[in-house]
Chain A
Amino acid sequence: MAEFLMPTLGADMTEGTLVQWKKRIGDRIAKGEIIAEVDTEKAAIEVECHASGIVEQLLTKPGDKVPVGTVMAIIREAGQPAAAAVQPQHIAPQPVTPSRIPPVAKTAPASSPGTRLRISPAARTLAAERGIDPAGLQGTGPEGAITLDDVTRALASDVKVTAPLTMAERQARMRQTIAAAMARSKREIPHYYLSTTIDMSRALAWLTTENGCRPVTERLLVSVLFIKAVALALRQVPELNALWKDGDAVRSERIHIGTAISLRQGGLVAPALHDADRADLGDLMQRFQDLVKRARAGSLRSSELSDATITVTSLGEQGVETVFGVIYPPQVALVGFGKVVERPWVADGQVVPRPVVTLSLSADHRVSDGHRGGLFLAEIDRLLQEPQSL
């Protein structure tokens, strides 16, 4: 049996509120599939399951506030017998909005997966109007059909209804979460900072030519070149591709780049682009577009919020020339790109105008030192001088 636990979806996250289950008892689930939607201080997150099998038990119900690490569901993996019933852990109920959260079946559902749901038209209409998934209800009508009374009872027994968080309240909570993570970072991580200036003329010329050959739907942004260069440079300096856990740096085998994305209503998130070193630029760009879109729509996945080992932030569009970043714990480094600006540059003994960008590194001195950090920045520079190789 595999246990599905409330995951950590960000630094200093201690609990999350179950919004809804995406699977029912008896459903088959594959590793990586979404099993639940969880509300955190920052946003509602789709949480992936890390095991494959049959959903044996759901131990928490929508609206429950669940501490990180709590067993929320039991997954029966292939070849295993059914489990003995597990007692749900004591979890404080949290008021929720019925329009988003269907109630959970008290006993057996009115249908099993793949069979037609028995439900009266009136019950179906009311359930749809109130946002209830009728598949999760116990039917008391003929042959277990769901009646209007069943839906009415479900509504009446639902947890207390309160207004959803206002935008201002959600922003305030996000600010508090960011504050807690950044305060912890400054309190615990001995940062060191390095920066270098990079000649961007080759990279920008290559990008212009490349985009001239691409349809508008497949064009690249310079930020994708930055992300790819950072990902490849981490292969050369792997100590920066790590998480600080229990007093030690744990290196990651794979390279997942956190990308700082500002949200239009304020605040930011830094979800991961998985395996960024292995993706070609076109693929990386499509995934980056999708990530930004979903970050702003509030539909990120749990692995995207927990897998990054380093964050890339680009503030050039705000006119910033140099970033002095704060590491997002438990990561051990943050890379910042500033604005691409025209500056006098000495090349072959001549002073010439060149587009340049300031690249900066904030790194954890417990894990790396300035020598390795400097090599890392030099490698990023080298890669951006050969953009065709990215």
Chain B
Amino acid sequence: MTTTPSDADTRAQILRLLGEIAPEADLACLNPDVSFREQLDLDSMDFLNFVVALHKAFHIEIPETDYPKYMTLNGCVAQVAASRT
């Protein structure tokens, strides 16, 4: 799969945000299609903080009903990209 430079930037920024929430995690081993909560042992507070961080970093509105779309790295990248179109 090829990625555009902007997707790569988005991905890197999302990983940086995740690193602030789970500093002990080895994000290089993250499976982009598997839930963060499953891989990084995030609880609901961590996930809420992650959503808030995404909102602030990318200036996007994230309704609670859309949370499932932000559960994986690829899902987040797709949502951020969609918000820009």
Interface residues of A (CB under 8 A from B): 208, 211-212, 216-217, 219, 221-223, 262, 264-265, 288-289, 292-293, 317
Contact = CB atoms under 8 A, between A and B. Distances in A.
Contacts of B63: 212
Contacts of A217: 52, 55
Contacts of A219: 48, 64
Nearest to A217: B52
B35 to A, nearest CB: 13
B52 A216 contact: yes
Contacts of A317: 43-44
22 contacts: A208-B64, A211-B64, A212-B63, A216-B51, A216-B52, A216-B55, A216-B61, A216-B62, A217-B52, A217-B55, A219-B48, A219-B64, A221-B44, A221-B45, A222-B44, A262-B43, A264-B24, A264-B41, A292-B45, A293-B49, A317-B43, A317-B44
Contacts of A262: 43
A289 B64 contact: no
Contacts of B71: none
Nearest to A211: B64
Contacts of B55: 216-217
Interface in B1-36: 22-24
Contacts of A292: 45
Nearest to B63: A212
Contacts of A289: 45, 48-49
Interface of B: 22-24, 41, 43-45, 48-49, 51-52, 55, 61-64
A264 B64 CA distance: 25
B64 A221 contact: no
Contacts of B44: 221-223, 317
Contacts of B24: 264-265
A327 to B, nearest CB: 23
A222 B64 CA distance: 13
A211 B44 CA distance: 14
B28 to A, nearest CB: 18
B22 A221 contact: no
A207 to B, nearest CB: 9
Given A216-B55, A216-B61, A217-B55, A264 B22 contact: yes
Contacts of A216: 51-52, 55, 61-62
A40 B48 CA distance: 30
A31 B78 CA distance: 51
A212 B23 CA distance: 30
Nearest to A222: B44
A212 B22 CA distance: 27
Which of A208, A265, A292, A317 has the most CB atoms of chain B within a 10 A radius of its CB?
Answer: A317
Nearest to B55: A216
A341 B9 CA distance: 39
A219 B61 CA distance: 13
B51 to A, nearest CB: 6
A216 B55 CA distance: 8
Contacts of B48: 219, 221, 289
A264 B43 CA distance: 10
A216 B22 CA distance: 20
A215 to B, nearest CB: 8
A11 B52 CA distance: 35
Contacts of B49: 289, 293
Which of B23, B24, B62, B64 has the most CB atoms of chain A within a 10 A radius of its CB?
Answer: B64
Given A216-B55, A216-B62, A289-B48, 15 more contacts: A208-B64, A211-B64, A216-B61, A217-B55, A219-B48, A219-B64, A221-B44, A221-B45, A221-B48, A222-B44, A223-B45, A262-B43, A264-B41, A289-B45, A292-B45
B65 to A, nearest CB: 8
B64 A212 contact: yes
A290 B62 CA distance: 21
A139 B51 CA distance: 51
A262 B43 CA distance: 10
Contacts of A208: 64
Contacts of A265: 24
Contacts of A212: 63-64
